[in-house]
Chains A and B, each alone.
Chain A
Amino acid sequence: MPQLAQLAQLAQLDVGDVVATAEYHLTRDSLVRYAGASGDFNPIHYRDDVAVSVGLPGVLAHGMLTMGLAVQCVVAWAGDPARVIDYQVRFTRPVLVDAETGADISVSAKLGALDAETNTARIDLTVTFGEATVLGKAQIRIALSELLS
């Protein structure tokens, strides 16, 4: 059970330690793929003319795409997507996806807190595009046991 071995490493972790990092490169193709998978066909996510007509600087990534990918490095660390029992974010800044160069998103996940009573860990995400963070109060609660019961 490699995931349990990974979680055993929690014993050596301190609050504030980085548990996972990831880099993602988004292109317009990524947005079209997410639109189809999620059913969110708002044209501001694939048409420049529509985005500009509603006052945006250009085509934006779906906030839910950013939320969806940002958790993945923590899923990999925890070993099972089912260990994510709570996940919340605030969308603070848009991710502008250039038609030619795309957009690069960086994710850093830190151990925010350990709760022995509920046997959960709180992981805090920092998600940045360019120099700015794009998600606020991005927190994941991870169940540390009981998934195999």
Chain B
Amino acid sequence: MPTEPYLVGREKVREFARAVFATSPLNYDVDAAIAAGHADVVAPPTFPIVIQERTLAQLLAEPDAGIDFTRVVHGDQRFTYTRPIVAGDELTATLTIASVKSLGGHSMVTAVSDIVDSTGAHVVTATSTLVVRGDE
């Protein structure tokens, strides 16, 4: 089930950029972004986590998944882009569980979130591996 559409706001892009110590003017300055060929300010490379988080919240809220949030550790993260995210994009994410593996009492869940724009075109895929710690 896709998430509700997420409208990428210009000030949100700037706020996120400041939080990750970004210095590129293309994250902040509309004129600089347009001069570089973009429609509006460009989101930093890890910005899709904001949208992916909504799919992971769906997963953790799923009672059938049986995942205890306090035992979840972030193992790996990857973003694979078709095009950059810019302010004004309206994005939705769809979660797929690519794999679940057991490893010495722990479970490793690989969650793939495909993020598309309002036309349905692919923008970025965010892949997280979550390690769910077993009883110690």
Contacts and interface: CB of A to CB of B under 8 A. Distances in A.
Q: Which of A38, A65, A147 counts the most chain B CB atoms within 10 A?
A: A38
Contacts of B44: 68, 71-72, 75, 81
B37 A90 contact: no
Majority SS of interface residues in chain B? mixed
B77 A71 contact: no
A88 interface: yes
Interface stretch (A11-19, A29-37, A96-104, A109-117): A29-37
Contacts of B102: none
A81 B23 CA distance: 10
Interface string B56-72: 00000000000000100
Given A65-B20, A68-B20, A81 B74 contact: no
B22 A40 contact: no
A7 interface: no
A30 B18 CA distance: 10
Interface string A68-85: 110110011001111011
A38 B56 CA distance: 14
From A30, A33, A54, A76, name the one whose CB has the most chain B CB atoms within 10 angstroms: A33
A88 B21 contact: no
B98 to A, nearest CB: 14
23 contacts: A37-B12, A38-B16, A40-B53, A63-B77, A64-B74, A67-B77, A68-B44, A69-B20, A72-B21, A75-B24, A75-B44, A75-B45, A76-B23, A81-B27, A81-B84, A82-B38, A85-B81, A86-B80, A89-B76, A89-B78, A147-B36, A148-B37, A149-B37
Interface of A: 24, 30, 33-34, 36-40, 54, 63-65, 67-69, 71-72, 75-76, 79-82, 84-91, 140, 147-149
8 interchain residue pairs of minimum CB distance: A68-B20, A37-B19, A88-B78, A82-B84, A68-B46, A84-B45, A34-B19, A69-B21
